[in-house]
Structure 1
């Protein structure tokens, strides 16, 4: 991790006011990232300095260099809400291959008093990527991130699972035998595998999107309307979790995206798709809450260019998810009664997507042939 090329006075101010992560015992060669930057660690690494206060995502995975295999372990991530001048100390647990945050205030104070001596071993926060990190998390409040992350505080790329039924005795295991000679097909073998469940406390705590899209006692006409306009479902989601701050639903959209993009959590990508599909089909809510949907446009403007190309092509081509979903959004955004600022912003966003990705939102979706191209610089939706 190289030092920043900046004015010495500015660097000193950032060193004094920024937060510091002291990471002890982290093995050489490990991949570690903070927000949008990832490094391969050298032997002198002891942490990161000059971190701007606020929400950050620390992510890491160990690499097994034995016999030159270079095997990379699943990625683990931690959301951290750091304060100005805060010193956070963590130790690498070799047996668990994980970081453990120190709960010893005396150790933290010792590190704080020793920061100038530690300075040569601390890499600076990557300010060249700060703007991109902020653009991906500007709607995500720290308390929302902490509410959505697993109870154990770890966002893991591969879920830790356990068998639903604990089999202690030999007879129990024998009943679940998967002997090749006894299984007549792959399907039969799969069905006889022990049923697994995610270890308690490791689950991402995303909001539940109600399966019933209409209110109790709804008439057939209301059921039909609610299946076309998902505003009732969105209202239920917001009321259940974000009644005090309805725009926090955009923070959840950003949380899911960060978990996928930086944490390699596919579940985050799936939830991002479901939440986006819901938000884009809410005609009544769009007219009642224009600020929510103005914010949605800004969130998508920064997210879409960051999706890895292979995923991007997949979600565009498979059932035309993005094009069909956004086409529905643009249709409801152009309806009579929509806030004029929102209507103009949506039209501008549609033109931008059409020019950038060559998506035709006016054509029948069956005839769309979207093409992925490089995102041009200098386009501002503020």
Structure 2
């Protein structure tokens, strides 16, 4: 065999017994492990950590293009372990080919030292096994594709701020999420905690969700209904604007995409960086996207196709939250309060819209997707997203006395009472 028969990832000089992850599967390496074979078409993410007990992880995205012509060999991606930085660095093609040749050639490496994509997580006594898994996050059929369907080369380039190396680590951060230490300049902070790679966030500012120059009632409405900011972000990053949710061609890449795909892609990447790297800044961006989309009203009426797709993606992501070590997405009543409040508010919005619009407008599709999310959080976390609660009534005490009782505990979630929004005309 002069070349490899399937798309392949070769990892040069990777030490044994380090933590390695590919998409939704994690494992520890063995001395015979040299990489992974039989990659499907699409985008993939690999990360490493010197030890399973260390929280700092480094990873990179790469793309396996569509099946090449029969005359062209399948793609091979080469990365080389750097002892100085304890992470994988780019490796020139000739060096990678020489490494394979030194190991006995492609046939030897392919058959004895590469583990297939979607390998079993069980350890085996077979000497040819490339890796023994220690923690399994099963990449079931379609699972990875289902939560990366909006990832694109242009989004990765913008997010990682690099045209050719889509790298990211646990410490990478967006500007708005960086720690500010009183009394220290940015340079001094960098000297203390090290250099952090800057990530390309969308720049969602939930404190200003109205157009520049808006005053009075317009600003108040913009704070309550964040549709303007959602529209602005989509136009800013996607450029071409079309009516409705029609497919449009992105200038410069020729890639077909729909309105809001850039927001969906950012949401997917951020979620996966939390899932694999426990990246705090990506968690904050994920929350900002949820807080933006689930507080829109006008856009739901105009862009119902986007919201149906968004809710479908959200459910897929929620189904993976338990994969995070230590339960990073704490969905208890306290830890998940931010999401519970957003979902309750969005359900009220859908109810109000449904009263004024017919099924032909597509709102029923959004409601159907929301009901799937609602059913899931109810089954998993026993969340009740409706407003059907007794807030006041007569309570009979042990001695038979009747007392009028009233609770205000849910006013914050329902935006009622002292939490109710107030429109002020200036």
Same fold (TM over 0.5): yes
Name the counterpart of 1:353. Answer: 377
Between the aligned partners of 1:352 and 1:46, the Cα distance in structure 2 is 40
Cα distance change of structure 1 residues 73 and 277 upon mapping to structure 2, 3 Å threshold: closer
Decide which of 246, 249, 263 is 2:263's aligned counterpart.
249
Q: Deviations over 1:285-328 (max 9, x none)?
A: 11111111111111111111222463333675148111101112
Report how far residue 218 of structure 1 moved.
2.2
Report how far residue 154 of structure 1 moved.
2.3
* 2:263 is equivalent to residue 263 of structure 1: no
Name the counterpart of 1:46. Answer: 34
Q: Deviations over 1:199-237 (max 9, x none)?
A: 778111111114422223324111111111000111111
Q: How does the TM-score come out when normalised to structure 1?
A: 0.75
Cα distance change of structure 1 residues 29 and 107 upon mapping to structure 2, 3 Å threshold: closer
User: What aligned pairs does 1:241-320 form with structure 2 within 5 A after superposition?
Assistant: 241-244=237-240, 245=257, 246-307=260-321, 308=324, 310-313=327-330, 316-318=333-335, 320=337
- 3-state SS of 1:52 partner: coil
Tell whether the 8 Å contact from 2:33 to 2:113 is kept in structure 1 after alignment: yes
User: What aligned pairs does 1:166-245 form with structure 2 within 5 A after superposition?
Assistant: 191-192=182-183, 195-197=188-190, 202-210=197-205, 211-244=207-240, 245=257
* 2:139 is equivalent to residue 129 of structure 1: yes
Could you list the runs of 5+ residues in structure 2 that have no partner in the other structure? 68-73, 120-137, 175-180, 241-256, 390-407, 412-426
Report how far residue 366 of structure 1 moved.
3.8
Tell whether the 8 Å contact from 2:7 to 2:38 is kept in structure 1 after alignment: yes
Tell whether the 8 Å contact from 1:32 to 1:59 is kept in structure 2 after alignment: yes
Q: How does the TM-score come out when normalised to structure 2?
A: 0.68
Between the aligned partners of 1:121 and 1:193, the Cα distance in structure 2 is 49
Decide which of 87, 91, 111 is 1:98's aligned counterpart.
87
Decide which of 337, 340, 344 is 1:327's aligned counterpart.
344
How many equivalent pairs are there?
320
Tell whether the 8 Å contact from 1:140 to 1:251 is kept in structure 2 after alignment: yes
Q: Deviations over 1:142-179 (max 9, x none)?
A: 33123212436321112499xxxxxxxxxxxxxxxxxx
Between the aligned partners of 1:109 and 1:224, the Cα distance in structure 2 is 64
Tell whether the 8 Å contact from 2:330 to 2:336 is kept in structure 1 after alignment: no
Could you list the runs of 5+ residues in structure 1 that have no partner in the other structure? 1-14, 64-69, 162-189, 369-382
